[in-house]
């Protein structure tokens, strides 16, 4: 997807609400990174209000098989502090159409890595069928999974450096 194509798609979806829309997105937002911020920023470019649904720990566990690194309250507080975000809500269901509608959202914004997945959740299917979803360019080579894998790969170096630093600190204070 060309970087600016998503704006044209947003204009087609939102029509006269472009620039004034309530934009909705959801996710885990564990180990927040530039890719998350890019989506929030794009959301504010097309709308006046951004609602971010942060997945509960239970929801994350149900589809990832493990707990997030940061708990829900920590992740929600971090997301809420971001200048592009107007409101944070709990996400207890992936692509929760009922919550999307209840909050009066006009469009759901998400990375284009979701666009051509095979087994899409029913909520995303509804959003696509009803022209309520905007896929924006995914930030290449950057994801929470990538960051976690990098930490695992570098864990020996990290642990070794921490032990060495702690040893030096102890010896300097004695």
Where b means 16+ CB within 10 Å and e means fewer, 142-164 reads: ebbeebeeeeeeeeeeeeeeeee
Q: Of the segments 9-13, 115-119, 135-139, which one has the largest average pLDDT value?
A: 9-13
5-140: CATH topology: Rossmann fold (3.40.50)
d(CA 44, CA 37): 11
Q: What is the pLDDT of residues 141-151, one digit of tens each?
A: 777 878 888 88
Segment (H or E) for 91:
strand 87-91
pLDDT averaged over every residue in the chain: 91
Q: What is the pLDDT of residues 6-49, one digit of tens each?
A: 999 999 999 999 999 999 999 999 989 999 999 999 999 999 99
- DSSP label at residue 22: E
- Residue 99, C-beta contacts closer than 8 angstroms, at least 6 positions apart: 53, 89, 91, 93
Residue 70 has pLDDT above 80, yes or no: yes
**Domains of the chain: which residue ranges?**
5-140, 143-174
**Span 86-104, mean pLDDT?**
97
């Amino acid at each position: 997807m060309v970087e600016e194509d998503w704006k044209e798609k947003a204009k087609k979806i939102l029509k006269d609400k472009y620039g004034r829309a309530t934009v909705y997105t959801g996710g885990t937002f564990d180990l927040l990174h530039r890719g998350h911020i890019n989506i929030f920023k794009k959301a504010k470019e097309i709308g006046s209000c951004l609602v971010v649904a942060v997945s509960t720990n239970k929801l994350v566990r149900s589809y990832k098989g493990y707990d997030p690194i940061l708990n829900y309250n920590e992740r929600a507080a971090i997301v809420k502090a971001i200048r592009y975000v107007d409101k944070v809500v709990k996400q207890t269901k992936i692509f929760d159409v009922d919550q999307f509608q209840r909050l009066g959202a006009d469009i759901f914004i998400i990375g284009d890595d979701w666009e051509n997945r095979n087994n899409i959740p029913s909520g995303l299917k509804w959003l696509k069928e009803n022209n309520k979803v905007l896929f924006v360019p995914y930030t290449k080579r950057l994801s929470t999974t990538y960051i976690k894998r990098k930490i695992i790969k570098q864990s020996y170096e990290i642990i070794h450096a921490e032990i060495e630093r702690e040893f030096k600190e102890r010896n300097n204070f004695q």
